Amino acid sequence: MKLTFPRFGDSNIYGRLLFRELGVDFVVPAPNSAEGLERGAARAPEDICLPFKLMIDNLLSAWEQGADTVIMPATMGPCRLGEYGELLAVTMRKQGCDFRWILLDSISAIGVKELVHRLAQAVEDSLCSKRQIFRVLRKTYTLIKEFEKLEAEVRRLSPYDKTAGSSKAVLRTCRRALEQAEELSEAINIVRQSKKELHSLPRDMSKRPLRLLVTGEIYTQIEAFANHYIEDTLMDLGVSFEKNISIGWWVRNTVLNPFGGMLAEAKKNPLMPHRIGGYAKETINEALRCKKEGFDGILQLFPVGCMPEIVAKSVFDGLAKDEGLPVLSIVYDEMGGEAGYLTRIEAFIDMLERKRDMENVLSGDRCRIGKHGFCCNGR
Amino acid sequence: MYYLGIDVGSVSTDFVVMDDNLKIVDQLYLKTKGAPIDAVKEGLGQLSGRFRDEEILGVGTTGSGRALASAIAGGDAVKNEITAHAVAAATLDPEIRTVLEIGGQDSKIILLRNGVISDFAMNTVCAAGTGSFLDRQAERLGISVEELGKMAAMAENPVSIAGRCAVFAESDIIHKQQLGCRMDDIIAGMSKALVRNYLSNVAKGKTILPKICFQGGVAANEGIRRAFEETLGTPVIVPEYHKVMGAFGAAILAKEKIKKPALKSKFRGFQTANEPIESRSFNCRDCDNRCQVTVLYSGDRQLGCFSDRCGKYQNNNF
């Protein structure tokens, strides 16, 4: 058996170290690229969303490298995402790639027994004892958690850098080192080292950057290629932001602590009382939280045709009007041009800065305001 | 003393020279023709006879080619076109509360309250209802874009055209032509479809309050302006310099940027027009990102570098 998995975010780092340590034979698909997207789009069903097209290319690339089994997360539900794994299996078979599939569904959909059974298939070739397997899994999760914490801190702290871009550089170096790491313990140490490095950077905490919340469809948020590296863009524009949906969040919510997920689901949400599939409810919950926690605005990311997020977007339109909560929805597909995205994001940030500075003036803050409301202290 | 504003758009590249009192003293409207570098050089060349380098105190660039224009001309303020258009409209008339802007590739609506942006939207997926569509239809009908507006204004019975999608709109237009409909009626119908699409798509959910200012290249089209007035039921102002409002806004932003801490402009001078400027692209293979990097050279000197995510090519040290 030769295992593979689609690429999203840093799945290549985690997957590589995990299967290496388990002693399972595996291949990592080539990274997402424009050429890959073309190849995936040519084989995808019409009107399917961006993540699907990218994953087709990932799996083609893995098949070419000799993979025969795919392990990937899936989410059952009324949205077409619920059939995602099955649709992908059919599409790949048509391309002559007859994979064996290990689909990791939520416990609420398939039950604990079935999930364990499926997970066991992935490690059937491993020589490790049960105990060792659990230890490796736990270490992998620790790595995910630690690295995501580092990412979160970089997102929050980068605008305070005395030398612009230094926090971003720490994250980049850390990621490069993780790609080269030999084993999980080494990787965890690299992350901890990077965190120390990040904390020792000179900062100017008197700056007052905007605080944004990035939310939306899960794949688009996690995979930088799918969102045109929006995190880099935001860091370059000097805003502080938070992004809570991640691989670690998925693992926590679906596998480790499904009870927490169920509890969150049972909580009242006046704007969306039912689950409609995908992560629409989560997106809206995030937005409501954002209002309470004093963020300046929300960026909602999703691929063209993503039903749950389209529904969430129309809820946002109402939120924007009633609560004065600014939301910018950014829709991604095959289009590679950056100018349009950058214009929208830049204009959104300009608008929020002006808005905040005006409020400061009204409340007697000594912020210098240009004639058109732009803060002259900033950019 | 003057400020220069450059707006490099998909269809046109506009220049505005503005004096200290925010008055436009000169303007240029050039076709980009897919060659923004040449368009910027051409504009600087044309202006070089009328102004001296020392007279330019600051340069602002905007539009989708703003980074490129800034690298060539030496920009002090590099701002997106939404901010630039809003600033220009608010400077022109502080009472303007809605800006409708239709350019070559995109259309936007900007809501102003007390002279500052309170909300905006841009067309998302489809380019139906933008200048390029009109350009193409005018070309297909064998008339100039300017005539298009006049003919629409003369129509008596506009035919209905599907406006949702540029491709379907075109087949609808061809179909109506084959039925023998009058050309001016078809053009008027097309204008109405464009406005309908704009209002239901770009301006969806936005509160449009007067005064309404209509700017961008398409504002020259009398038929579209009339269709807007009819649909919205209020007068729509088209400012004198509607075609170059983006460049005007960029010039104002440059002035604000330069004036506050009294900076020296990065303007590279009008002789830039005579420099041999060329761009070279290559695929960087150093990491997974596989960036397609574009470097702009004047002779051997690097003017600017774009699309390298890690920024390692920015300082000419590779």
Structure confidence by residue, pLDDT tens digits, B35-84:
999 999 999 999 998 999 999 999 999 998 999 999 999 999 999 999 99
- pLDDT-derived band at B7, boundaries 50, 70, 90: very high
Q: Do A172 and B310 touch (CB under 8 A)?
A: yes
Residues A274-316: tens digit of each pLDDT: 777 777 888 888 888 887 888 899 999 999 888 888 888 888 8
pLDDT tens for residues A81-130?
Answer: 567 788 888 999 999 999 999 988 777 778 888 888 988 898 888 888 98
What sections of B97-144 are H helices per DSSP? 131-141
CATH of B2-86+246-274, one of 3.30.70.141, 3.30.420.40, 3.40.50.620, 3.40.50.2300: 3.30.420.40
Min Cα distance B280 → chain A (Å) is: 18
Q: Does A340 touch chain B (CB under 8 A)?
A: yes
Residue B265 and residue B72 in contact, taking contact as beta carbons nearer than 8 Å: no
Residue A49 has pLDDT above 50, yes or no: yes
Ranges A159-163, B132-136, B218-222, B309-313, most confident: A159-163
Residues in B touching A339 (Cβ below 8 Å): 64-65
Nearest to A347 among B80, B118, B252 (CB): B80
pLDDT of A132 > 90? The answer is yes
Q: Where are any strands of DSSP class E within chain A? A: 3-4, 69-73, 100-104, 211-216, 240-243, 297-303, 327-332
Confidence (pLDDT) at A81: 57
| Predicted local confidence at residue B128, as pLDDT | 59
Q: What is the pLDDT of residue A266?
A: 74
The residue behind tokens 């022109």 is B92
Contacts 24+ apart (CB under 8 A), B137-146: B137/B170, B137/B173, B137/B187, B137/B190, B140/B170, B141/B183, B141/B187, B145/B220, B145/B221, B146/B220
The neighbour count for residue B27, using CB atoms within 10 Å, is 18
pLDDT at A375 over 50: no
Lowest mean pLDDT of A55-64, A206-215, B299-308, name the range. B299-308
Q: Is the pLDDT of residue A75 over 70?
A: no
Mutating which of B80, B112, B114, B294 best tests the A interface, going by the most A Cβ atoms within 10 A?
B80
In this prediction, residue B315 carries a pLDDT of 65
Q: What pLDDT is recorded for position B30?
A: 92
Q: What share of chain B has pLDDT > 70, as a percent?
A: 96
A369: β partners: A375
Residue of B nearest to A335 (CA): B125
* Interface touch A350/B205, C-beta < 8 Å: no
Q: What is the pTM of this model?
A: 0.85
Question: ipTM greater than 0.85, yes or no?
Answer: no
- Of the candidates B80, B124, B205, which has its C-beta nearest A346's C-beta? B80
B298 to chain A nearest CA, in Å? 24
Identify the closest residue of chain A to B204 by CA–CA distance: A317
Q: At what angle do helices A258-266 and A107-122 cross, to 10 degrees?
A: 160
Whole-number percent of chain A with pLDDT over 90? 49
Note the pLDDT of residue A377: 37
DSSP annotation of B305 reads E
The confidence score (pLDDT) of residue A77 equals 57
First to last CA, chain A: 55
Q: Is A342 within 8 Å of chain B by CB?
A: yes
- Is residue A364 over pLDDT 60? no
pLDDT value of position B312: 79
| Among B42, B86, B30, B106, residue whose Cα is nearest residue B245 | B86
Q: What is the mean pLDDT of chain A?
A: 86
What residues of chain B lie within 8 A of the CB of A176, using their CB?
287
| B228 or B299, greater pLDDT | B228
Q: Which residue matches tokens 């237009």?
A: B173
A318 has a chain B CB within 8 A of its CB = no
**Mean per-residue pLDDT, B279-288:** 83
Task: Find chain B residues with C-beta within 8 A of A340's C-beta.
Answer: 64, 106, 122
Chain A, 128-167: which have a CB under 8 Å from a chain B CB?
Answer: 165
Quick one: which of A77, A87, A80, A84 has its CA closest to A108? A77
Per-domain residue ranges for chain B? 2-86+246-274, 276-318
pLDDT of residue A154: 96
